[in-house]
Amino acid sequence: MIRMAMTTQAKKRILIVGGVAGGASAAARARRLSEDADIVLFERGRHVSFANCGMPYYIGGAILDRDRLLVQTADGLKARYGIEVRVQTEVLRVDRARKLLVVRGPDGAEKSETYDALILSPGAQAIRPPLPGGAHPRVFTLRSLADMDAIKTAVDGLKGCRALIMGGGYIGLEMAEAFRARGLEVTLVELSGQVFAPADPEMVAPVHRRLRDNGVDLRLGVSVTSLSQADNGLKAALSTGDELDCALALQAIGLRPETALAREAGLALGPSGGIAVDAHMRTSDPSIYAVGDAVEVSEFVTGNKALIPLAGPASRQGRIAADNALGRDSSYRGTQGTAICKVFDLAVGVTGLNEKTLKRLGRAYEKVHIHPTHHAGYYPGAAQMSLKILFDPKDGLLLGAQAVGLEGVDKRLDVLAVALRAKMTVRDLRDLELCYAPPYGSAKDPVNCAGFAATNALEGDVRLWHAETLPPRPDQVLLDARTAGEFAAGSIPGALNVPVDDLRARLGDLPKDRELLVFCQVGLRGYLACLILSQNGFVCRNLSGGYQTYQATVSSPAASERR
């Protein structure tokens, strides 16, 4: 039993810099561990512990009461936790030798504050690249309540105008929905070939479609080169040469860790530019901890250091830093990057590593795609989702997972996130015993089905092929195992059609001297066809995810670049 002897603990003074997510968690945890400690929280803004993830929904009107975003107030923290909160207070520097902070309060006066332990939770700031016209007052970022209020005020005065969003990450996507909900036209420009970078290109094809279906003018592989004053707002020049009039612009191209204070104090930064910490969230100075978006974490699968700014991990890190600051041994076990984003009625999310990263790292992997319904197909409202699983081709260890769809996406990602954390293999996924009743799932849950598909590949029952390897080599033949009707409605150019149910009778029509690249709609009939073919002496592979994954793959600009 790990239990701190609280009564023998000397009275400590804990200073915390930054009052959102990690900082607020650290402060509350510190008090829970010690009634004696002096705990002071410094926050540059006017509010502590506000729900920054809720800001797009307040601007969009889904959340009507602004006060709902103020999760905890300075007075509340004082009353419940006896924590001194100093808002509108800038921490100017850390004097590590004398263990004190120099701060400037709302009155402008500088003051010094000593500490026994210091916990830094400075967060990250929106990247504002040096863009001509980027300082125009109608160009916003969204990190603080002040940002939110400014955007809301601007939008409240508009109707039928255009908002320009730069960047297709969480904020860009959520704000596209918010601006549409407020009746604005929306153009979203994204420099890369896809939105939602944590996922692979073929997995966001449905997101691109959903954005466009909801009236978002999505421009991929495009950037804004300059902004300038126009009659009714801004004129944006794009990398394509196009010009665009808009009433306001939002820069949401990414985050940069707030490391100035740490750097100036001489604390070590890591290779990715975040504050370096050990598993106890301790910086290179043993009296100073750092947590949240400003720190470098160990990525769970590889152990590599990385910047992974997420609210859940920030909150956990705050608790762990407070534990260690107050003498309780507690370790952070890495960030796996579980994340989800709502894009209109679609959800898209990931956990673990994506294929882009695995490729970049040169890590061996195999992948499967499936397209199951989120609950029993015969029960009303069944919605199809797409699920991608990345795994070690030798031992089947789960490396990452992605999902996109209308319903049940968060559930499958959470299941896969736990499986990944538990270092399960794809074989284990087959055997997971999940909730089943027709309104909630299927006797074979999508996660089980992903396990089946992956294990079939892992054990060599079927060899897979993937859509990005097209076109076929001369010694390969494409074989569409769907029905004649499906084939007629659209297939991969050059494919033969032999429906799986006719296959046993038509084996004589097929060449034994060429590799058959089999496919069906989602991968199941193709798998059955391959089992029939391979047991009859044919050489064959099944297209993972079938024609549906093929379509998603070829629709992505990233795929066409690849070829």
Taking CB under 8 A as the criterion, which residues in 157-216 touch its own copies?
170
Give yes or no for residue 512 binding its own copies (CB under 8 A): no
Phi, psi of 155 (to 5 degrees): -65, -35
Q: In terms of Cα–Cα distance, which of 371, 351, 413 is closest to 550?
A: 371
Of residues 336, 373, 386, 544, which one binds its own copies by CB under 8 A?
336
273 vs 439, beta carbon nearer its own copies: 439
What is Dmax (Cα atoms) for the chain? Answer: 90
CB atoms near residue 130 (< 10 Å): 6
Give yes or no for residue 51 binding its own copies (CB under 8 A): yes
Who's near 252: CB < 8 A, 6+ residues apart? 126, 141, 142, 165, 166, 167, 169, 171, 172, 175
Amino acid at position 3, single letter: R
Give yes or no for residue 63 binding its own copies (CB under 8 A): yes
Burial class (CB in 10 A: 0-12, 13-18, 19+), 10: exposed
63 vs 496, beta carbon nearer its own copies: 63
Among residues 53, 341, 530, 540, which one is catalytic? Answer: 53
Q: Which stretch binds its own copies (CB under 8 A): 91-99, 257-265, 409-417, 508-516?
A: 409-417
Smallest gap from Cβ 344 to its own copies, in A, equals: 11
446 vs 472, beta carbon nearer its own copies: 446
Give yes or no for residue 397 binding its own copies (CB under 8 A): no
Angle between helix axes 22-33 and 311-325 (nearest 10 degrees) is 30
Q: Which stretch binds its own copies (CB under 8 A): 31-39, 85-93, 224-232, 513-521?
A: 31-39
380 vs 490, beta carbon nearer its own copies: 380
Of residues 11, 53, 137, 232, which one binds its own copies by CB under 8 A?
53
Site string for its own copies, 97-116 (x = CB under 8 A): --------------------
* Helix intervals (H) in 185-343: 201-213, 260-264, 311-325
Q: Which stretch binds its own copies (CB under 8 A): 208-216, 225-233, 264-272, 433-441?
A: 433-441
Q: Supply angle C-alpha 474, 391, 452, rounded to 5.
A: 85
195-216: b or e for each residue (b if 16 or more CB lie within 10 Å)? Answer: bbbbbbbbbbbbbbebbeebeb
Smallest gap from Cβ 268 to its own copies, in A, equals: 25
Tell me the sheet residues that pair with 338.
none
Which long-range contacts does 428-433 make (Cβ < 8 Å, 24+ apart)?
429/389, 429/398, 429/454, 429/455, 430/455
The span from the CA of 470 to the CA of 467, in Å, is 6
Smallest gap from Cβ 439 to its own copies, in A, equals: 5
Give yes or no for residue 453 binding its own copies (CB under 8 A): no
Of residues 156, 459, 509, 561, which one binds its own copies by CB under 8 A?
459
Q: Which stretch binds its own copies (CB under 8 A): 47-55, 110-118, 252-260, 357-365?
A: 47-55
- Contact indicator for 385, 207 with CB cutoff of 8 Å: no
Q: Which stretch binds its own copies (CB under 8 A): 39-47, 204-212, 246-254, 311-319?
A: 311-319
Give yes or no for residue 548 binding its own copies (CB under 8 A): no
Smallest gap from Cβ 187 to its own copies, in A, equals: 23
Q: Which of residues 375-394 bind its own copies (CB under 8 A)?
A: 376-380
147 vs 217, beta carbon nearer its own copies: 147
Give yes or no for residue 292 binding its own copies (CB under 8 A): no
The span from the CA of 441 to the CA of 453, in Å, is 18
Of residues 143, 411, 466, 482, which one binds its own copies by CB under 8 A?
411
Q: Which of residues 259-288 bind its own copies (CB under 8 A)?
A: none
Of residues 528, 554, 555, 557, which one binds its own copies by CB under 8 A?
528
Burial class (CB in 10 A: 0-12, 13-18, 19+), 490: exposed
Q: Write down the number of H helices and E strands in the chain.
A: 17, 30
Site string for its own copies, 413-432 (x = CB under 8 A): xxx-xxx-xx-x---x-xxx
- Contact indicator for 468, 492 with CB cutoff of 8 Å: no
Give yes or no for residue 500 binding its own copies (CB under 8 A): yes
DSSP summary character for residue 495: -
Smallest gap from Cβ 170 to its own copies, in A, equals: 8
Which long-range contacts does 263-266 make (Cβ < 8 Å, 24+ apart)?
264/93, 264/94, 265/93, 265/94, 265/96, 266/96
Of residues 72, 141, 351, 521, which one binds its own copies by CB under 8 A?
351
Count the residues of the shown chain that bind its own copies, applying the rule CB under 8 A.
89
Residue 53 annotated among the catalytic residues of the structure: yes
What are the catalytic residues?
53
